[in-house]
Homo-oligomer: A and B are copies of this chain.
């Protein structure tokens, strides 16, 4: 396979595309973030990278809190809208008819339409050129009841989550295997 060389670029793909909610006590805002990831398992931590120019930047910097709301296919239009429009000019909750829901451990609202919300508290901010990296503890998770089976297992495959790759939003497709499948012994039929 012949390869082409390019200069460094942000081509890690697919990445999450999440609705981040935040509040300064007066204004609640939403911003779509793709530059996000899990930092560690124990303690559970993630980051979001935000440009200084965004309205949510100052809100998160001052409040030290935000929620990562995982969107599903039903609200992909709202997901896109909240990445394009500025909260300085618009009330994105109202524009997209999204419902504010009280969070458990942080003071900013969650997005009720999102099947899963990770409530986050910032512990460090690192500048990195175009973006500031907000590193945060995941202090609570809220999940739609409908995604939990009778044994308490999360059926995340039923959530209709969205991935983002090179400027496009995608539904998740075929399940290719579960972690560890490559080394699992096959059952022998008797």
Contacts and interface: CB of A to CB of B under 8 A. Distances in A.
Interface string A37-81: 111111111110100000000000000000010100100111011
B182 A84 contact: yes
A13 B165 contact: no
Interface in A1-45: 1-16, 18, 34-45
Chain multiplicity (copies): 2
Nearest to A79: B182
A16 B163 CA distance: 9
A170 B173 contact: yes
> Looking at chain A's contact residues, is the secondary structure mostly helix, strand, loop, or mixed?
strand
A34 B40 CA distance: 11
Contacts of A6: 140-143
Interface size class of chain A, counting residues whose CB lies under 8 Å from the partner chain: 35 or more
B176 A76 contact: yes
A43 to B, nearest CB: 5
A80 B13 contact: no
A162 interface: yes
A145 B12 contact: no
B182 A178 contact: no
In the A-B complex, the 3 residue pairs with the closest CB atoms:
A37-B37, A173-B173, A8-B138
